[in-house]
Amino acid sequence: MKRSIILLVFIISCLFVTSESISGADFPDGFIFGTASSAYQFEGAVNEGNKGASIWDTFTRQAGRIMDFSNADTAVDQYHRFKSDIELMKDLGMDAYRFSISWSRIFPNGTGKPNPEGIEYYNNLIDALLEKGIQPYVTLYHWDLPQMLEDKYEGWLSRQIVEDFEHYAFTCFKAFGDRVKHWITFNEPHGFTLQGYDTGLQAPGRCSIFRRFFCKKGKSSTEPYIVAHNILLSHAAAYHSYQLNFKGRQGGQIGIALDAKWYEPMTDRDEDKDAASRAMDFEIGWFLEPLFFGKYPLSMKDFVGERLPEILPETSNILVNTLDFLGLNHYTTSYAQHDRTRIWKLILQDASADAAVITTSFRRGVAIGERAASRWLRIVPWGIRKLAGYVKDKYGNPPVIITENGMDDLNSPFMELDKTLQDDKRIRYHRDYLSNLSAAIWQDDCDVRGYFVWSLLDNWEWNAGYTVRFGLYYVDYKNNLTRIPKASVEWFKSILSSKSDL
């Protein structure tokens, strides 16, 4: 009875939550707060521990691929500094740490016998986290495919990748699953599928003749769909392997983390509402509809046609119900408008233009939100609430974890350190996004169970290199990678210290 009264008071208080008053107590009992990272952006030590090369090691050495001509050979050196970084997480009051395993650190050649040094490193990392009361959330694939598999059979373009990914996942479940209870098979498959095989802007850098000055080979109109199909099959293979071999004694859960913008119709016209719906289909529906309903979205079938792989009934049965939870990497929101002319489709003949949607951050000259450092990242806090509601309504309110959320500042050599550390804009960002997430949970009944900040530390940010900073901690790249807390660290400490004890 006492718990029910407390919960009722709590719910009533959440109805009046404002962006000025968010706290950890505005989230349900058991709600998880954490920070997120990836192996390639954090670990460094690319030539240590018998690690093999990945497609990103190769990609960063191609001229013009990275904005500041950097690479992640050292990154922020978490390979050697994980214990002190875990102390930072503990001091923040974080419940969990989401990190990825480097496939080529476990299998330097992509498959075969596992590398004992790689197994030992992740065992030590997991044990150190648990010793501090921090739960490991482990991503199996965060873009760094072993180069040997790319060379051998063109990686994700080959059906052979399904067998090799299952073997890799099985090895990780066996080695770490006694302590890891939350597994994420893939990080942002939509993003790396298009950027790697359509635009060619990310590894392995494949694209069509119309973009040939970027790429040596590829076919932008078909390869993204082949890759995505093999990703879905690989996810399902890993899920079923876990259920068959490990679920009974380990009791863990398997999810996937999707890059998920919210798309707001440019106007109230039906064609723009349909365009926004298609944009969601081509971004998260591409992966969620096969996993929930056993088929690709109808809009994709209509607009892609025969280039979209067929999901046969036996394949549908393999894919459906292979998610215990859904991860959403949400940063920003855009307007969506119907592309009446389809001119980009005619010019580029690529997957990115198939949806017939024009996306923009402006409507009638007014920005949808303030810009962060990256051009793609506009600060639109209400988008996270709309996204959560959309997932609830369309996919039956599955358990959701916000597996990434954050914003970046420019890494300016002219900015004084004290001004850089006073990151009020980041504090406002997280405050307002968390306020909208709390409203989605309590007012809209969305089943959201966790929130992971990207990221604990400033880090190497893919094509942007070291030109932007996402971290709660400033990393001094010119002084032994020293970690220095920004103002957002103290803000998060105060938020997490007020978590509910219900």
Dihedral sign computed on CA atoms, order 226, 464, 64, 38: negative
Q: How many domains does the chain have?
A: 1
CB 403 within 8 A of CB 328: yes
Query: What's the CATH code of the domain at 171?
Result: 3.20.20.80
CB 36 within 8 A of CB 454: yes
Please report, as a single letter, which amino acid is at residue 10.
F
Q: Is residue 16 part of a domain?
A: no
Please report, as a single letter, which amino acid is at residue 467.
T
Give residue 242's domain range: 29-498
Q: Is residue 247 part of a domain?
A: yes
pLDDT tens-place values along the chain, 502 residues long: 433 433 443 343 343 344 467 999 999 999 999 999 999 999 999 999 999 999 999 999 999 999 999 999 999 999 999 999 999 999 999 999 999 999 999 999 999 999 999 999 999 999 999 999 999 999 999 999 999 999 999 999 999 999 999 999 999 999 999 999 999 999 999 999 999 999 999 999 999 965 556 788 999 999 999 999 999 999 999 999 999 999 999 999 999 999 999 999 999 999 999 999 999 999 999 999 999 999 999 999 999 999 999 999 999 999 999 999 999 999 999 999 999 987 666 666 789 999 999 999 999 999 999 999 999 999 999 999 999 999 999 999 999 999 999 999 999 988 999 999 999 999 999 999 999 999 999 999 999 999 999 999 999 999 999 999 999 999 999 999 999 999 999 999 999 998 744 3
Q: What is the pLDDT of residue 22?
A: 92
Backbone Cα Rg of the chain: 22
Q: Is residue 22 part of a domain?
A: no
Q: Is residue 18 part of a domain?
A: no
Q: What is the pLDDT of residue 344?
A: 63
Q: Is residue 12 part of a domain?
A: no
Q: Half-sphere exposure of residue 4, counting CA atoms within 13 Å on the CB side? A: 1
Q: What is the pLDDT of residue 112?
A: 97
Adjacency order of strands within the sheet including 262-265: 262-265, 333-338, 357-360
CB 433 within 8 A of CB 486: no
Q: What is the pLDDT of residue 428?
A: 98
Q: Is residue 50 part of a domain?
A: yes
Active site residues: 188, 404
In the chain, DSSP finds a helix count (H) and a strand count (E) of 20, 19
Residue whose token pair is 């971290």:
471
User: Considering the entire predicted model, what is its pTM?
Assistant: 0.95
Q: What is the pLDDT of residue 346?
A: 61
Q: What is the pLDDT of residue 306?
A: 96
Give the number of other CB atoms < 10 A from CB of residue 23. 17
**DSSP per-residue string spanning 271-301:** HHHHHHHHHHIIIIIHHHHHHHHSS--HHHH
Q: Is residue 270 part of a domain?
A: yes
Of 487, 459, 495, nearest in space to 99 by CA? 459
Q: Is residue 189 part of a domain?
A: yes
Of 224, 174, 216, nearest in space to 196 by CA? 224
